[in-house]
Amino acid sequence: MDDMADQMQRDLEEIGNTCMPFGKHGPAHHPPNGVPIFDLPLEYLAWFAAKGGFPKGRLGVLLQMVHHMKVEGLDSIFDGLRKQRGGRTKLRPDRKREFEF
């Protein structure tokens, strides 16, 4: 039983240290490292699940884990990771908040 708990802890730490390496949430659009995979929108992860399949390798496995947790409503598991990074990652640029009448 301890082995499974240890593996789950290692997986969660790896999820916390992994950022999206490509695409619209990658480093090209969110410098310097991309969006942490635990902050990716559920819709983005669902697209991988429905259309193209998750990437090969460890990244794909981690993305599947995050997708499954978010689908099951367990997004709050990532709150500790977000707190360490200073909050949720902004996925949209700030909008202009000035109004002229």
Q: What is the largest CA-CA distance in the chain?
A: 65
Q: What is the pLDDT of residues 53-80, one digit of tens each?
A: 899 999 999 999 999 999 999 999 898 8
Q: How many H-runs (helices) and E-runs (strands) does the chain carry?
A: 4, 0
pTM of the complete model: 0.83
Q: What is the pLDDT of residues 15-52, one digit of tens each?
A: 999 999 999 999 998 889 999 999 999 999 999 999 87
Q: What is the pLDDT of residues 77-88, one digit of tens each?
A: 898 888 888 877
Report domain extents, the chain: 2-85
Residues with Cβ within 8 Å of 19's Cβ and at least 6 positions away in sequence, in order, are 27, 33, 34, 35, 36, 37
